[in-house]
Structure 1
Amino acid sequence: MSVPSAPTAPTPTSAGAPPLAPRHWPAWLGIGAMALLARLPWPLQRALGRALGVLLRLALGSRRRVAARNLALCFPALDAAARTALLHAHFSALGIGVFEFARAWWGSTAALRGRVAIEGLDHLAAARAGGRGVIVISGHFTTLEICGRLLCEHGVPLAGMYRPHAGAALEWAVKRGRLRYATAMFGREELRPAIRHLKDGGLLWFAPDQDTRRGDSVFVPFFGLPAWSLTSTHQLARLSGAAVLAFAHERRADGGYTLRLSPALADFPSADAGADTARVMAAIEAMARAAPAQYLWIHRRFKRQPDGTDPYR
């Protein structure tokens, strides 16, 4: 994998100057509204989130169909009624997740103190022994952002790797929000500084579980189906010497969160990028099976197949 030159600006630890040209003003109005919603009481956010989930399920017909198809592909043993119930629960989780994302970026987590259970910090300490860097892998869950912040606020100095937003105002606002708790944020093209961060003993958190046209990918099993999957975890571990461990997170029915860090993957990386990627996706599948309503089923995870078919058509 080639490593491009490091970008000159903005740095991974700074959001730079905000874009204030008139063409960005509509985006700033939306960001301002989200920032206000981020400050609502947590019980009210959860109630509004569930209502928003119903609206999203009714309004986003194409995404609802993608989610329903994913559930049929991944849970064939469930009958139609059970899959429908899971679909409704997913959109409820998605609606709550909108408020969680806003709170993570622009709000306070004070209301969540005492509601967070963290397991496996000893596994992280073992992986970091001797100053080794650690790649912390997760999946795209509705709880992704809030649980990343909660882990950081419990003494785990995560940096993140992410896909920058196309809109300049939203990119600035979200990056600035993330840098309130993350030690650094690296865009997906900023591989050189991310590798340097790992070599210096840092922690790098990212989710490699979506089908993307960018980056080296291979087909590996996910819920028993071929899924076009990034080999980036293998590549980053090979180039940096970092350990790799899984970070699972879920929203509990009582409004709290459980965060779990697993032991570092043994003998990782190997010489086989495909085998390593299969291990990573198996870890993310286990997370999705543990909290199925909270995984991001609206993504067309299986749109690319070895035989060229599209299961969503």
Structure 2
Amino acid sequence: MDRPRFRASFVHPRFWLLWLGLGLLWLVVQLPYGVLLRLGQGLGVLMYRFARSRRHIVQRNLELCFPQLSASERERLVRENFSSTGIAFFEMAMSWWWPKARLQRLAHVEGLEHLQQAQADGQGVILMALHFTTLEIGAALLGQHHTIDGMYREHKNPVFDYVQRRGRERHNDDATAIEREDVRAMLKVLRAGRAIWYAPDQDYGRKQSIFVPLFGIQAATVTATTKFARLGRARVLPYTQERLADGSGYRLVIHPPLTDFPGESEEADCRRVNAWIEQAVGQCPEQYLWAHRRFKTRPEGEPKLY
């Protein structure tokens, strides 16, 4: 995709309220990092109280995935998850507008050598990530160390789409955004030896998925990780990120490439991917995006879970 460009139509009065909101957000995120964390936690409390439908989805997901926890333990995790989601709102703005040097002080990167080795070997990389609430700022921080292309879905509001893409792509001049449905472009990028951010942890429907267990529940799991790795002749490097509890920033970990991947079958690969997802989410479940209806698509004959 081409770089985002400002258009005269963006100053139309119908966008003024959005511009005002973005301007106020820009002012707020100039505050110290610790203050933004507390503001985000406060926003999370409001979201918990008023976003009832989302709260129900989070509660249901945690009930399904962590049945071993008591009701009070799950409720505590729900509240922590909403706090993390509230913080993510300000992290998004930080990643778009903070000076790069200020952002960089928050990054604690491990395993960068795995990306560098793949680049030296001329191989593309599928950076297999997850939808944590820290997704936006994690991508921005890693993008300052290595060019990472990303899968992208255009926002319906053209002004917001412009601001979002401009903010995401500013961290390295060489990064590109690839439409999520543009498989040909993704394979071209991988065969050129580039790295692309890709998350296989959401429910994309029955058409492009098979059912394998996730937290003990049959979940529609995309087979695209296998297809992209095979057709793009790419290495798959798991990638995790975590907001550190001491307020010092974020731990970003690029794990060693998966060995013998793709494997003997798409089902075996999907089981392997889901086992990794369980492990990664279990490290900081409060920071995962539980508001997504992960088990929406059900095998034939099974009742709905939401």
TM-score, with length taken from structure 2: 0.91
Partner of 2:273: 280
Listed one character per residue, the Cα deviations across residues 85-120 of structure 1 (whole Å, up to 9, x for unaligned) are: 111111111111110011112223544544432221
Name the SS for the 1:201 alignment partner.
Answer: coil
Report the counterpart of residue 245 of structure 1 in structure 2. Answer: 237
Q: How many residues align?
A: 300
CA distance in 2, matches of 1:275, 1:127: 24
Which structure 2 residues correspond to residues 69-80 of structure 1 after superposition, within 5 A? 69-80=60-71
Q: Which runs of 5+ in 1 are unaligned?
A: 1-9
Aligned equivalent of 1:101 = 92
Match of 1:254 among 246, 251, 257: 246
Q: Measured at CA, do residues 262 and 15 of structure 1 come closer, stay the same or move farther in structure 2, by a change above 3 Å?
A: same
Identity among equivalent positions (%) equals: 43
Q: How does 1:5-44 map to 2 (within 5 A)?
A: 10-11=1-2, 14-18=3-7, 19-20=9-10, 21-44=12-35
2:205–2:297 CA contact under 8 A, matched in 1? no
Counterpart for residue 291 of structure 1? 284
Q: What does residue 260 of structure 2 align with?
A: 267
Separation of aligned partners in 1, 2:64 and 2:206: 25
> Hey, what's the Cα distance between the residues in 2 that align with 1:16 and 1:277?
39
Alignment of 1:79-118 (within 5 A): 79-118=70-109
Are residues 1:196 and 2:185 paired?
no
CA distance in 1, matches of 2:39, 2:241: 22
1:220 to 190, 212, 219: 212
In the TM superposition, what whole-angstrom CA distance separates every residue of 1:186-233 from its partner, at most 9, and x where no partner exists? 120222222111111100012221112486112122111111122221
Task: Tell which deviates more after alignment, 265-274 or 43-52.
Answer: 265-274
Distance 1:177 1:190 in 2: 22
Partner AA of 1:157 in structure 2 = T
What SS does structure 1 have at the residue aligned with 2:15?
helix
Measure the CA separation in 1 of the matches of 2:209 and 2:82. Answer: 29
> Are the equivalent residues in 2 in contact too, given 1:103–1:109 (CA < 8 A)?
no
Q: Following the alignment from structure 2 to structure 1, what is the Cα–Cα distance between the partners of residues 139 and 105?
A: 16
2:146 pairs with 131, 144, 156, which one?
156
Counterpart check, 1:232 vs 2:224: yes
The CA deviation at 1:299 is 0.9
Q: 1:213 to 1:17 in 2, by over 3 A?
A: farther
| 2-structure distance, mates of 1:214, 1:226 | 12
Question: TM-score scaled by structure 1?
Answer: 0.89
CA separation of 1:201/1:41 partners in 2, compared to 1, >3 Å: closer, same or farther? same
Q: For 2:17 and 2:179, how far apart are their aligned partners in 1?
A: 24
Coordinate RMSD, CA, aligned: 1.9
After superposition, the Cα gap between the structure-2 partners of 1:92 and 1:263, relative to the gap in structure 1 and judged at 3 Å, is same
User: Cα 1:230–1:24, aligned 2, differ >3 Å: closer, same or farther?
Assistant: farther
With over 3 angstroms needed to count, the CA separation of the structure-2 counterparts of 1:138 and 1:215, relative to structure 1, is farther
Q: Is the 8 A contact 2:128 2:238 kept in 1?
A: yes
Q: Distance in 2 between matches of 1:168 and 1:240?
A: 32
Is the 2:236–2:258 Cα contact (8 Å) retained in structure 1?
yes
Q: Is the 8 A contact 1:127 1:264 kept in 2?
A: no
- Contact between 1:116 and 1:258, CA under 8 Å: does it hold in 2? yes
Are the structure 2 counterparts of residues 226 and 41 from structure 1 closer, same or farther at C-alpha, using a change threshold of 3 Å?
same
- Number of the residue aligned with 1:305: 298
Aligned CA distance change for structure 1 residues 90 and 230 (closer, same or farther; 3 Å):
same
Q: Displacement, 1:288?
A: 0.7
Tell me the equivalent position of 2:169.
Answer: 179
